[in-house]
Chain A
C-alpha cells in the first residue's frame, strides 16, 4: 500500500505536570479539527495515558516482581516478560485497533509512541488524493 503523496504530521507532546510518568497532552490540535471528533481524540489519548500509568504503577505486584527479579539476579527476565513490556504490548494492540477502526477511515495514522522514544504521539494526516485535476 503506497501512501498518498501529501501528508503532514502533528505531534502530541508529553505532559509533565504529574511528574516523570509517561502522560500525553490531551489538548486537541487544530489541524485535526476537520478530521475527527475532539471527544474521540481525547478518549484515545486518555486511554493511552491510563495504560502507561498502569505500566509504571508502584504496587504490590510490581514490588513482588522487583524482589523476585533481584533474588534471581535478573535472570528470570530471560524467560519472563517484565510487567512494563506486557503493558507496552497491550498499548501496541490498542493503537493498531484504534487505527483500524477510527483513524484510518478518516485518513489519519497514529504512531506508537515507543517508536518515538515515548516523546510524542505522532499523528500523520494524509491529504485527500483527489486534489488537483488528476483523475
Chain B
C-alpha cells in the first residue's frame, strides 16, 4: 500500500516545513509570490532591460562610446555643416544625411538589443539522459571522459559537433559558446564589444546593415565636410574657413579614422556573406582549401546571390529563450548569479518569515564574499544580500530587490527591497522606494530619506 499512502499524503497537501531554505511553493503560508519571468532566472551573463524586452552583453561601456561617437559627429554635422551646404548646394544633402543617420541608429539598436540566437541550456532531465548515453558509449568507466565530440556528415563534409560542458548540450553545427556572455549562440559570428552583444543567427543581418550604412554615412559626412571647407575657403580663405566651423575639423578627424576600419569591416563581411561563412569559421580556416583539396563549405548554396539572399532576407527565427515568458511553478529556482557568485539562499518574498537561525547559518558562508561586493560601488541587479555584517557599509550603491540586515546604508538607492531585522542600522540620505522596513529596532534611524510607499512595521 506504499503508493496509496503517498497518494493520500499528496492529496492532503501536507508538507513538512523544512529548516533549510525552501522555495516559496513549499511554505504552508500560501503567500502569493509574484510570478517571475524567465529572463530573471536566465543563467547566462546577459543584462536585461525593459522587463526582458532588451538583451545585451554584460560589458556595455564600448557600446555607449559607439553611440556617443555617432550622435556627436552627426549632431555636429547637422548643426554646423548642413545649413551651409543646404544653402550653397541643395537641401537634399541634409535629408539624405538624416535618412542615413536614422538607418544607422535603427540597425545599431536592433543589433545590440536583440537576442543573437542564444541556445537555452539543457533541462536537468535532458542533461542526465545525454550523460547516460555517453557513459554507455564509453563503457561506463565512471570517471570523466575527455571532451566529447560527435561526428556528422553534412553535405559530404565531416563536421565535428562538440559537447558544451556549460550548457550541457551537443552544439549544433556553426554554433559556438561565447565566453563573455556564457551562452551557446547559433551560427556564432563573433562577440562585438562595439555593439555590446554577440553577433549570431538572429542579428547578423542587422549587424551587416549597420556597418554598411555606417560606412556610407562616414563617407558621406567626410565628403561633405571637406566640400564645406573647400567652398568656404574659396569665399573667405582656408584658415578663416576652419575658424568659422571648428566642428568640421573634429568631424573630419573622426571620419578619417573610422572610415578605414568600418569600410574594411563591411568589405570583409560582404565577402563572408557571399561565401556563407562566419567570422569564426574564416579565422579558423575551417573551409579553406589550404586544409585539403576536398575541403569546401557545406553550408554554401553554391552561388553568391543565393548566399546573400539567405543571409539578409531569409526567414528570421524567433528567440528560443522566451525571455518574457513566466517561469513554471514546478521548476526549481536558484537565486540568479550576482556578479558571478551564485547565492543559494532565502528569496525576497519569504524574508520576513525566515528564522534567525537560518540567518546565522547563512551569515558565515556568505559574509566574506558579500563584504567585497558590498563595499564596492557596484550595481547589483536583483541581488540577494542576506545577513550582511554590522560593519558592512554600502555606499553609493544601487540595490534592487535585496534584503539587507544589520548594516549601514549610506547614500544608496534601494528599490523594492526588504530591510529586515535591522538593529542599529542607519539609513542615511537614501531613497527607499516601495520597500518594506520591517522589524527595525528603536535604535535604527532613517535620516533625510525619501521614503515612498513604505510600509514600516514594528519600528
Query: Which residues of A are at the interface with B, using a C-beta cutoff of 8 A?
Result: 2, 5, 9-11, 13-14, 16-20, 55-58, 62-63, 65-67, 69-70, 73-74, 82-85, 88, 114, 116-120, 122, 131-134
**Do B129 and A11 touch across chains, with their CB atoms under 8 A apart?**
yes
CB pair B3–A131 under 8 Å, yes or no, is yes
With known contacts A14-B172, A16-B173, A20-B174, A55–B315 Cβ distance under 8 A: yes
Q: Is the CB of A88 within 8 A of B174?
A: no
- Given A9-B129, A18-B154, A70-B209: A58 in contact with B309 (beta carbons within 8 A): yes
Tell me, yes or no, whether B318 is within 8 Å of chain A by CB.
Answer: yes
Counting contact residues on chain B (CB < 8 A from A), the size range is 35 or more
* Of A9, A19, A88, the contact of B318 (CB 8 Å cutoff): A88
Chain B residues 97 to 129 lying within 8 A of chain A, measured CB to CB, are 103, 106, 110, 119-120, 122-123, 125-126, 129
What would 25 A/B residue contacts be, using CB atoms closer than 8 Å?
A10-B129, A11-B125, A11-B126, A11-B129, A14-B172, A16-B152, A16-B159, A17-B154, A20-B173, A56-B315, A56-B317, A57-B315, A66-B313, A70-B209, A70-B312, A70-B313, A74-B110, A82-B315, A114-B320, A116-B123, A122-B125, A132-B2, A134-B1, A134-B4, A134-B7
Please, which residues of chain B bring their CB within 8 A of the CB of A132?
A: 1-3
Residues in chain B within 8 A of chain A (CB atoms): 1-4, 6-7, 10, 103, 106, 110, 119-120, 122-123, 125-126, 129-130, 152-155, 159, 161, 169-170, 172-174, 186-187, 205, 209, 298-299, 306, 309-310, 312-318, 320-321
Q: Which residues of A contact B316 (CB under 8 A)?
A: 66, 69, 82, 84
The residues of A that contact B205 with a CB separation of less than 8 Å are 70
The residues of A that contact B306 with a CB separation of less than 8 Å are 58
For residue A130, give the distance in angstroms from its CB to the closest CB of chain B: 10
Shortest CB distance A46–B (Å): 19
> Closest 8 interchain pairs by CB?
A66-B313, A117-B120, A134-B4, A117-B320, A63-B313, A134-B3, A62-B315, A16-B152
Which residue of A is nearest B314, CB measured? Answer: A58
Is there an interface contact between B129 and A16, defined as CB atoms closer than 8 Å?
Answer: no
Query: Complex formed: what's the CA distance from A14 to B172 in Å?
Result: 8
B401 to chain A, nearest CB (A): 27
Q: Binding site of B, secondary structure by majority: helix, strand, loop or mixed?
A: mixed
Residues of A within 8 A of B317 (CB): 55-56, 84
Q: Considering the complex, give the chain A residue whose CB is closest to the CB of B316.
A: A82
Interchain CB contact under 8 A, B309 and A16: no
Taken together as a complex, chains A and B put the C-alpha atoms of A17 and B321 apart, in Å, by 25
Q: A73-B106, A117-B120, A119-B126 are in contact. Are A66 and B315 (CB under 8 A)?
A: yes
Contact of B318 with A82 in the complex, beta carbons under 8 Å: yes
A65 to chain B, nearest CB (A): 7
Chain B hits for A131, CB < 8 A: 3
In the bound assembly, the distance between CA atoms of A62 and B316 in angstroms comes to 9
Q: How far is the CB of B368 from chain A (nearest CB, A)?
A: 36
Closest CB of chain A to B272's CB: distance in Å?
16
Contact A5/B119 with A16-B152, A20-B172, A62-B315 known, Cβ cut-off 8 Å: no
Q: A120, B126: Cβ atoms under 8 Å?
A: yes
Q: B315 contacts which chain A residues (CB < 8 A)?
A: 55-58, 62, 65-66, 82-84
- Least Cβ–Cβ distance between B193 and chain A, in angstroms: 24
| Docked-complex contact B320 and A9, CB < 8 angstroms | no
**Cβ–Cβ contact B309 & A118, under 8 A:** no
Set of chain B residues within 8 Å of A65, measured between Cβ atoms: 315
Instruction: Give the complex CA separation of A68 and B309 in angstroms.
Output: 13
In the bound complex, what is the Cα–Cα distance between A14 and B7 (angstroms)? 37
Nearest CB in chain B to that of A2: its residue: B10
For B10, B161, B205, B315, which residue has the most chain A Cβ atoms within 10 angstroms?
B315
Task: Name the residue of chain B whose CB is nearest to the CB of A88.
Answer: B318
Query: In the assembly, what is the distance between CA of A16 and CA of B172, in Å?
Result: 7
B298 touches A5 (CB 8 A): no
Of A9, A55, A133, which contacts B125 at CB under 8 A?
A: A9
In the complex, A133 Cα to B3 Cα: how many Å? 9
A37 to chain B, nearest CB (A): 23
